[in-house]
Every structure is written in structure tokens, then in C-alpha cells.
A and B are shown apart, each in its own frame.
Chain A
Amino acid sequence: MNTIKVEGLVKTYGKVKALDGLDLHVEPGSVFGFLGPNGAGKTTTMRILTGLARPTSGRAWVAGVDLATEGQDLARRIGYLPEEPAFYGWMTPLEFLDYLGRLYGLQAKIRSARVKELIDLVKLGDSGKRRITGFSRGMRQRLGLAASLVNQPEVLFLDEPASALDPAGRKEVLDLIEGLRGQCTVLMSTHILADVERVCDVIGIMARGKLIVQAPRQKLLDQVATPVFEVEAEDADGLHTWAVSGRTLPWVASIDFNGNTGRILVKDRNLAKRELLPNLLQAGLVVNRYEELKPSLEDVFLHLVGEEGLQ
């Protein structure tokens, strides 16, 4: 059974189609990385799945709750961290989390213990009694994460949880998310590929309001990534001259340069492995380095989103 199930979700704003028949399935307990360029429809999807917006058509279920008919039951089962979490600046973090605990109907003793546990988890113990208004972006993000966990949600929605943070802040937030693995299902949207590679076990890539691929991280890298070879030649001009004929080879997809280093994307990895190096040597090039690169999520992303963009 899927914790999140989305079928043919469409959302239009005037003439703009933010979601164009989105289908999505997220299994329980997974940390699902929701990737896509800006404007792909990630935030719109999150807003619909958290009940903040309504779809134009299509259906969605979250933690077994049908959003079309039982939306009022959703709030107790989910947690949500918006991209820029907002708080009441006049409250302290302890008061804010206590307020949320009251909204969930937690008894005083349980509430107090839960608030303390969360404050410790997000390392805001020293600032627990300070007013939120003076908090840094990183502190706000950590408090937002704590706020999204008050009710021990079955499903946690995180919209760009670390995108605007400095490296130290990003690491802290990603560590926290990693620590949630197995405790709840996490749907995390981002456009930072390194974050996804680090914490997500399943990846879905969106473009133009549709999910163009969804697979476990490694499977996606193995199946979709375009093989890339990197060649460093002694003579940059020689390499550029070779590239003119190299681009016409049937197994070459594209060639890019950075000085005397060429990055060659190939269509057929096995053929390239047999023919690339001999081809370079035949052209009289002195090759300093020849390497098959491990495909990265960035390659997968650019390949898929690029393809989608061309269609």
C-alpha cells in the first residue's frame, strides 16, 4: 500500500498549467526526493497534498485519507515544513511548539515532554526562551522542522528544507532528516541534487507539471544516466580539432570542453569503451588522462529534464 497516491492531478492558474496529470506513488517509510527545476510544480503538489490548495482535477490520497472527501482528517496525520516557515515573532520556540501541541490536543504532561524532546532534537535548547523574531534563517528552519514533527506525523512534507541555508545549516537540517528514516514517510522537494543524493532513497523527477521518472536512487543512476568519458589531452587545439570529426561518430552524444579536458557523453557505453581511446590515438593526440566517470544525479537530472524540455 502506498502512503501517498496521486492520480492524474491537474492544477491550473488561469491559462498556466502548474500540474499536468501528475501521477505519484510513495511507499511507506521511504525518504522520497522530489526533484525538478523551478516552476516544475513541486510546491503546488505539496500545497495540494497538505490541503492548502485544491486540484483542478485528479485525486490524491495521503496516509489513507482521500483529500477530496476526508480532507479534515488529514491535519492530524501529516507534518509540513514550507519553504520559508513563518512564525509568530512574539512567541518563544517553547511557546510555539506548546501552542501546536495544544492544537493537536496533547495532554499537558505529554505536551511538555514532546516540546522538550523536539527542542533538544533541533538543538534550540539555548534559545528556547528567546523570542523567535531575532532568529537566523537556519534556526527558523530547524524550528520549522521541529514544528512539523509535533504530532509524530505519518507523512512529512518538506518543501526545499535546506535550499536557502549555508553549508553548516544545510548539514544540520539534512542530518535531522536522515534521522527520520524509518520513523515516517518523507516527501522532500528540492532542486539541490547533492541533498537528494545524500538523504533520499527514492527519487522522482518532475518537469512541466508531470513526473517524468520515479525510481530508487541507484536504479535511476544505473538506468538513466548517460555514460560520460573524460579525456585530458596534451594539446587543447588538437582535442578541439578531433572533436569536429568526433561529434559525427554514431555513438557520441555530445562533447564539451574545459581547456584541454574534453567531456564526452556517449550513447553506447560498450562501443565507446572499445572505440574512443583508439580513435583519439589514431588522430595523433597525446592523451594524459582517460577516464569513465561515475554517473551523477546531476547528469540524470539534466538528461531527463533536457529531454522533456525539447519535447
Chain B
Amino acid sequence: MNFWVVFRKEMLEQWRTYKVLIVGAVLFLFGLSSPLLAKFTPEMLAAVPGLPAGMADFIPTPTVGDAITQYLKNMSQFGILLALLMSMGSVAQEKERGTAALILTRPVSRGTFILAKFAALKVTFVASLLLAALGCWYYTYLLFEALPWGPFLLMNGLMLVVFMVYVAMTLLCSTLVRSQSGAGGLAFGGLILLAGLGAIPRLAEYLPGRLFEWGASLVLGTDLTDWPALWVSLGLIAVCLLAAGLIFRRQEL
């Protein structure tokens, strides 16, 4: 009911409040700079004055694998951070300011309210990640070699799933509390928890973080698939959204 109307408003809000621009610019910048850093960091290190003789020989020659590793590292840090920052106020701020009460006395279900926010954030991250991927692909092509498009896009698709796990988790936190900072703190706790669990080797293969490694293996041609991590990630998204919808339905505004 009214999903597209609320979704349209959410997209417009992200545009007017520069959220699209911020996510797009940050991810594009890191997409673009990852192959550059991979290529030129060893050269810069080699050029450090006073480097002991023979030391430069130990600095490995950069490869396309370094570019991909750098890209994944940057995206995993800044993409997840942006997922938290962009989502933490989504519901909490509307409750805090009173706009939720004004809108939810109209024909809008609370589930639609949450889903439209998730969908709009997803569109923002899809578009931003596409930009980042384009930047990364082009500079990798210029500095190293052309990456295979199919596996490269699949890798970005897997990254998108990870970002969406954090968007959904932060939306749930934003539903649970009434303040933006509270939601941010809670979501950051969730991030720490997932990172902590990821340090346990047996658990790591079931957690979203594993999708980065799978993505890298797709592009670099190593033999690693982690379907359980994908199912768990998609399950986490579904569970977080369902929980957010059910909790929000029971909340008084």
C-alpha cells in the first residue's frame, strides 16, 4: 500500500539532503583510488630517501590482485561505515521529530514505511557501487589489465549484499530507539559483534564478511565459494527487516 509514493519521497529526500551525493562521491573516490594506491604505493616506498641499499628489491611488483585487494579493503571499511551513517536516523529521527506520527496517521502501513526506506537506501548503494566499480575497473585497466566484467560485477554484487546487511541491521536499531545517536551506537555494537564473531574461524565462513573473500576469488580466479555466507547474509537482511516491521507496528508514536 503506497509503497511507491513513500519510496519516491525517500529518494527525493536522499537527493535533497545530499545523501546520494555523499555515498556516491565517497565510494567513487575509493573505487578510483584503489588501483592507483596499489600501483603507486610500492613505487613511493621505493622512492623514500635513505632507504637501505637492496631494500627496494624486497618491495614486490604490484599486480592486479593488489588492486582488487585494495578495492575490497576500502569498500569494506567505508561502504559499511556509510551504511551505518546513512541508515541510523531513518526511523529514529522521524520518531524523534514527529514526522512519523504525521505520516503514519495517513494510509501508510508501518511495514511500507520501513521497506520504502530500505529500498531507497539500496538504490543509493547500487548506484554508488556501480560508480565505484566503473572507476576501479577503468583505472585497473589503465594501470594493470582489463578485469573480466562478469566476475567483477558479481564481486560488487556480493559487496552490495554485505552493505545491505548493515543497512537492514541499522534500520532495525533505528526502529528500536528514538534517537539517531542511540541507533548509531547500537548499530556500531552490532558491527563490533559481527567482527568479533568473524574472528572465530569456524563461524567466519557463515558471516557476511566472508563475501568479500568470495568476491576476490571470483575476480582472481581462485577456487572459493561460500554459499552459506550468502544465505546467512540474505537471511539476516530478511530477519532484520521483518523484526523492524513487527516492532514498529507495536510501537506507540
- Using a CB–CB cutoff of 8 Å, the interface residues on chain A facing chain B are 47, 50-54, 72, 75-76, 78, 80, 82, 84-88, 90-91, 99-100, 102-105, 144, 147, 151
Contacts and interface: CB of A to CB of B under 8 A. Distances in A.
B252 interface: yes
Given A53-B252, A90-B17, A104 B98 contact: no
Interface in B7-62: 8-9, 13, 16-17
B2 A103 contact: yes
Interface residues of B, number: 22
Nearest to A52: B253
B142 interface: no
A82 B108 contact: no
Given A86-B97, A86-B99, A103-B2, A52 B105 contact: yes
Contact of B107 (A50, A80, A88, A103): A103
Contacts of A144: 102
A47 B102 CA distance: 11
B99 A99 contact: no
A68 to B, nearest CB: 15
Interface string B163-201: 000000000000000000000000000000000000000
B13 A88 contact: yes
A90 B9 CA distance: 11
A51 B99 contact: no
7 contacts: A52-B104, A54-B252, A72-B109, A82-B98, A86-B99, A90-B13, A99-B9
Nearest to B96: A86
Contacts of A82: 98, 101-102
Task: Give chain B's interface secondary structure class.
Answer: helix
Nearest to B94: A86
A53 B105 CA distance: 11
Contact of A80 (B8, B105, B108, B252): B105
A52 B98 CA distance: 11
> Which 8 pairs of residues, A with B, have the shortest CB-CB distance?
A86-B98, A53-B252, A90-B16, A102-B5, A75-B107, A103-B106, A80-B105, A52-B253
Contact of B102 (A76, A85, A90): A85
A103 B106 CA distance: 7
Contacts of A86: 97-99, 101-102
Nearest to A86: B98
Nearest to B107: A75
B105 A104 contact: no
B252 A103 contact: no
Nearest to B97: A86
B99 to A, nearest CB: 5
Contacts of A90: 13, 16-17
A144 B252 CA distance: 21
A99 B5 contact: yes
A54 B250 CA distance: 9
B1 to A, nearest CB: 9
Contacts of A76: 107
A147 B17 contact: no
Contacts of A72: 109
A52 B252 contact: yes
Contacts of B8: 102
Given A86-B97, A103-B107, A103-B108, 5 more contacts: A47-B253, A50-B105, A51-B105, A86-B99, A88-B99
Nearest to B15: A90
Interface string B103-136: 1111111000000000000000000000000000
Interface in B199-253: 252-253
Contacts of B17: 90
A223 B217 CA distance: 86
B102 A87 contact: yes
A88 B105 CA distance: 16
